[in-house]
Amino acid sequence: MDGNGLPERTTQLDPPAEFPFPFPPYDIQRDMMRQLYCCFEAGGLGVFQSPTGTGKSLSVLCSAMQWLRDDLQQTEKDLLDQNVSERAQGAAETHRSRSASTASTAGKTGAQQSSTSKKSMPAPPSWVMQKQADMRADAAKKAVDKWKAKIVARQDRIRLVRERSEEGRLSKRKFIPGVFKSGKGDDNNDDGTQDDGADSATEDADLVPRDYASDDDGGDGGLSDDSDGEEDEPPRIRKIFFCSRTHSQLAQFVSEVKNSPFSDVRLTALGSRQNLCTNPRVNKLSSLHAINEKCLDLQKTKNEIDPKTGKAVKVKKCPMLNPRSMNVTSNIILGSPQDIEEAAVVGERLGACAYYASRQAVEFAELVLLPYNMLLHKPTREAVGLDLKDNIVIVDEAHNLVETIAALHSAKLARLELEQAHAALSQYMDKFKRRLTPKHLMYIRQLLFVLKSWLTFLRKPVADGEKSEFLLSVNDFLFETKTDHMHFFKLLRYCEKSELHRKLLGYTQRHLPSVFDSGNGDVGESSGALRSKHISPLRGVQAFIESLTHADEDGRIVVRRSGRDASLQFMLLNPAIYFEEVLLKARAVAVVGGTMGSMSEFVQHLQTPKTRALKVSTFSCGHVVNGNNIIALAATHGPTNEPFRFTFANRKNKAMVEGLGRLLVNVCRVVPAGVVVFFPSYDTEDFIYQHWKACGVLDSLQRLKQVVREPRAAGKTDECLTEYSNAVQQGRGGLLFAVVGGKLSEGINFKDDLGRCVVMVGLPYPNRHSPALQEKMAYLDKRAGSGARNANGQSPGEAYYENLCMKAVNQSIGRAIRHRNDYAAILLVDDRYARPRIASQLPEWMQPYHTTVDKMGGVVRHLSTFFRKRK
Ligand code: SF4
């Protein structure tokens, strides 16, 4: 056993000939499972690309679980063998020492023997050596037996709880104790809502930080202190951390688990308090921030009088943290796979906090499901207490992994937020000046100085010829704002330890409600989050200070001086630094996606000098459908032979737009059921729609199919999808206008009749003139060194730029053809799709079926032949 109690295995594992699978797997699934298994065994980083609709999740699940079970079985076997070999080795040593001692005695004179014994200690008698070897072997076996016994005992307990739960013998009433209820009126106090009332002696005492030398930082609720006599020390279990982008993707994965041969897995799905909080007085609060803050507040231990004994007792104020019901809930969660919603229901039924119970279950889980931010954002990972060491990490839907890491660590600070923070903190300091220790005052003054300096910098008017948006290195920003002498590490540590942001929130809510109104009607999108009265004015400031502690070369500050919408934003240039720890700690990391783009570039973006030595394996496979089910056409010219080229400068060319309309009318005549058209941006879609409306194309389209447009507002997406799918299912046929990178280009399946044809209009390149993008490209070029070029002759920055576009194209294309018997046409409308460099970046599975057609008649002929054969 190693220092962490995780047994060590000595035999290497080979993938099995067949993996348990709910149905006979396709060849590509079998290949992928084998490669994944080898990656888990060999360690390092594995990048896996498999088109959507090829049963990727199931392949990931079955290979990972098979490896985990094989690992456990082989470990036990190795330990047993080790035990036998220890004994044998002991016997051999005994034998050797006996022979040596006989030979030595026989060959030496008395004087020689005496001089040898002076130089070295005599070997212990053979029976002692044997005994020592046996003892070593016994101790090893005992440790393994104990480890196994703990696992079996815990499993038995889980089984028992699950049986009782299924029989309905567990109920909320049984587990909620009344003993710690306050005598002050339970209704008001069980969530702490009335605790903040001030009396004259202790008015606002809760708003002043404690002396800043203390290590008391609130913690996570200290659930371990409340443990209800579970095992002395829990057995350490190797686990799989499976991470995906959204809760609904995790829920989908849980349903795959339930229908797989591994439905007996011990699984826990981690979600946010918004999804898992079971305290009705907290989970009804309007925002996640408010729920988080309230929950953390309730976790602080407070003194109360036990009504039975009349003595003061320390108590946590959320009644859902009852240790016994928490243990039962966590065992039920582990007893059979539950998604986040189901775990919340269990918690509610038992009167336990499902948020902490699901975290408590991590310790004994084999499979832990978690959203991206919990794995990729270090402070969140640490707050949850995820231990990745020697475990397997799988990142699903990883095509935008690098961009997601960058976004998670990009802190934005709006001018209004700075103003609010400065105003609130000044008044806070004035009010509590006499009660704050000199150390607190020193740090608060430093903070005020920093806020004022940044505000002055942001308020500077933009002179003629000056840009309103520009980038600075971290060092230059500090120099320009005259805050380069500040010790930001210390300041940050102070903010964290003192929890000043929470004190300030309490103070503003109680005494300065007007602070939250100051932006009404006068702030732009960038500062929208500020208006919530549940967010501390210091929260954003603290996150921004944290970003300043990065190495100068890893990030830039984007300065936007645009009046009330002015802002500062930290932009992370090197997201790999946040993936480094994951790679170094985990035994193996597999990143899996449908459209990863160039594998080698993807890997480079994730590597740092420290992780470059790790083994890297890559895998890419074709689609499960056969060639008769796919047709991919690049339409390069319109009906009057004008080329299609939807560049930024040409996208509003009316002749070309009309040509596109006529092409689409013909497409709708020959393609049955649903057609989805992706436009490069909302603006382009709107311009084209309005033009078609004016020139009559829209009427023609509407006569053929029901036209539905993707709304800009997120709340209306469901409505639009329902309208489109009703039109398709009722036989009218639907034509859906969607936007690349919008709400419909990821995570929505247009399978079967919902997507018989996907039309991609133009190439959705990001804005090349954006200072942030230019900086990122320059950073990549600089990092690779001058002259670095890929096979297409592009510098790393150019390759990155094009990759962003092609990943978006491939994501949108991947919405159609979702299973083996599905079929669809892909129509790429732009003459640049005929270029070999662009064509080579389309999905690999599509490339054999990719044909360039330069006449509209040719496009229509190809499509009608394809769909005639499908009837
Ligand atoms: S401890 Fe759990 S139930 Fe209680 S407020 Fe926090 S998240 Fe909600």
**What's the gap in Å between 172 CA and the centre of ligand 1?**
16
The pLDDT assigned to 88 comes to: 63
Q: What is the pLDDT of residues 254-280, one digit of tens each?
A: 999 999 999 999 999 999 999 999 999
The pLDDT assigned to 175 comes to: 38
On whether the CB atoms of residues 135 and 308 are closer than 8 A, the answer is no
Whether residue 294 has pLDDT greater than 50: yes
* Domain annotation for the chain: domains and CATH numbers: 412-572 (1.10.275), 630-869 (3.40.50.300)
Write the single-letter amino acid at 234. Answer: P
Once rounded to an integer, what is the mean pLDDT over residues 806-812?
90
Q: What is the pLDDT of residues 616-638, one digit of tens each?
A: 999 988 777 777 889 999 999 99
Among 288, 294, 295, name the best residue to mutate to test ligand 1's pocket (greatest count of ligand atoms within 8 A of Cβ).
295
Q: What is the pLDDT of residues 536-572, one digit of tens each?
A: 888 889 999 998 888 778 899 999 988 788 999 999 9
pLDDT level of residue 383 (50, 70, 90 thresholds): confident
**What's the gap in Å between 347 CA and the centre of ligand 1?**
10
**Angle, helices 126-166/56-107, rounded to nearest 10 degrees:** 160
Verify whether ligand 1 is closer than 6 Å to residue 744 (CB atom): no
**What's the gap in Å between 203 CA and the centre of ligand 1?**
27
Torsions phi, psi of 562, nearest 5?
-130, 65
On whether the CB atoms of residues 504 and 538 are closer than 8 A, the answer is yes
CB atoms within 10 A of CB 674: 28
On whether the CB atoms of residues 348 and 255 are closer than 8 A, the answer is no
Please report, for the chain, how many H helices and E strands are present, in that order.
32, 20
Once rounded to an integer, what is the mean pLDDT over residues 137-143?
75
Dist CA 405 CA 576 (whole Å): 8
In ligand 1, which atom is closest to the CA atom of 296?
Answer: 6
- Give the residue, by CA position, lying nearest to ligand 1 atom 8: 277
- Give the residue, by CA position, lying nearest to ligand 1 atom 7: 277
On whether the CB atoms of residues 558 and 468 are closer than 8 A, the answer is no
In ligand 1, which atom is closest to the CA atom of 299?
Answer: 1
The pLDDT assigned to 575 comes to: 92
Smallest CA-to-CA distance from 271 within 197, 357, 205 is with 357
Q: What is the pLDDT of residues 843-859, one digit of tens each?
A: 888 888 889 999 999 99
On whether the CB atoms of residues 170 and 164 are closer than 8 A, the answer is yes
**What's the gap in Å between 221 CA and the centre of ligand 1?**
9
Verify whether ligand 1 is closer than 6 Å to residue 75 (CB atom): no
Tell me if residue 24 falls in helix, strand or coil: coil
Verify whether ligand 1 is closer than 6 Å to residue 353 (CB atom): yes
Torsion, Cα 54 56 57 61, to 10 degrees, reads 130
Tokens of 176: 């909620």
Instruction: Tell me the residue length of the chain.
Output: 871
pLDDT level of residue 179 (50, 70, 90 thresholds): very low
DSSP bridge pairs for 304: 313
**What's the gap in Å between 248 CA and the centre of ligand 1?**
22
If one compares 229 and 163, the residue with the highest pLDDT of the two is: 163
- Give the residue, by CA position, lying nearest to ligand 1 atom 6: 295
Sheet holding 555-560, edge to edge: 412-414, 567-572, 555-560, 469-473
Q: What is the pLDDT of residues 13-72, one digit of tens each?
A: 999 999 999 999 988 899 999 999 999 999 999 999 988 777 889 999 999 999 999 998
On whether the CB atoms of residues 761 and 680 are closer than 8 A, the answer is yes
Write the single-letter amino acid at 275. Answer: N
On whether the CB atoms of residues 397 and 432 are closer than 8 A, the answer is no
Dist CA 7 CA 141 (whole Å): 11
Once rounded to an integer, what is the mean pLDDT over residues 197-221?
48
Q: What is the pLDDT of residues 727-782, one digit of tens each?
A: 999 999 999 999 998 888 776 788 899 999 999 999 999 998 888 899 999 999 99
Write the single-letter amino acid at 393. Answer: V
Pairing between β-strand 567-572 and β-strand 267-269 as defined by DSSP bridges: unpaired
Verify whether ligand 1 is closer than 6 Å to residue 343 (CB atom): no
Q: What is the pLDDT of residues 315-350, one digit of tens each?
A: 667 888 888 889 889 999 999 999 999 999 999 999
**What's the gap in Å between 220 CA and the centre of ligand 1?**
11
Name the helix (H) or strand (E) containing 166.
helix 126-166
Of the candidate ranges 18-22, 166-170, 587-591, the one whose mean pLDDT is the lowest = 166-170
Q: DSSP per residue over 375-437, as a string?
A: HHSHHHHHHHT---TT-EEEE-SGGGHHHHHHHHT--EEEHHHHHHHHHHHHHHHHHHTTTS-
Q: What is the chain's mean pLDDT, rounded?
A: 83
Verify whether ligand 1 is closer than 6 Å to residue 359 (CB atom): no
- Give the residue, by CA position, lying nearest to ligand 1 atom 2: 353
Once rounded to an integer, what is the mean pLDDT over residues 664-669?
96
In ligand 1, which atom is closest to the CA atom of 282?
Answer: 5
Burial class (CB in 10 A: 0-12, 13-18, 19+), 740: buried
The pLDDT assigned to 690 comes to: 96
DSSP bridge pairs for 826: 632, 758
If one compares 82 and 437, the residue with the highest pLDDT of the two is: 437
Smallest CA-to-CA distance from 636 within 852, 468, 851, 821 is with 852
Tokens of 248: 């609904």
Verify whether ligand 1 is closer than 6 Å to residue 812 (CB atom): no
**What's the gap in Å between 297 CA and the centre of ligand 1?**
10
On whether the CB atoms of residues 815 and 758 are closer than 8 A, the answer is yes
**What's the gap in Å between 353 CA and the centre of ligand 1?**
5
Tokens of 112: 């020689």
Q: Is the dihedral of CA 709, 712, 713, 717 positive or negative?
A: positive
Pairing between β-strand 44-49 and β-strand 588-593 as defined by DSSP bridges: parallel
**What's the gap in Å between 321 CA and the centre of ligand 1?**
7
The pLDDT assigned to 692 comes to: 96
Among 226, 298, 360, name the best residue to mutate to test ligand 1's pocket (greatest count of ligand atoms within 8 A of Cβ).
298
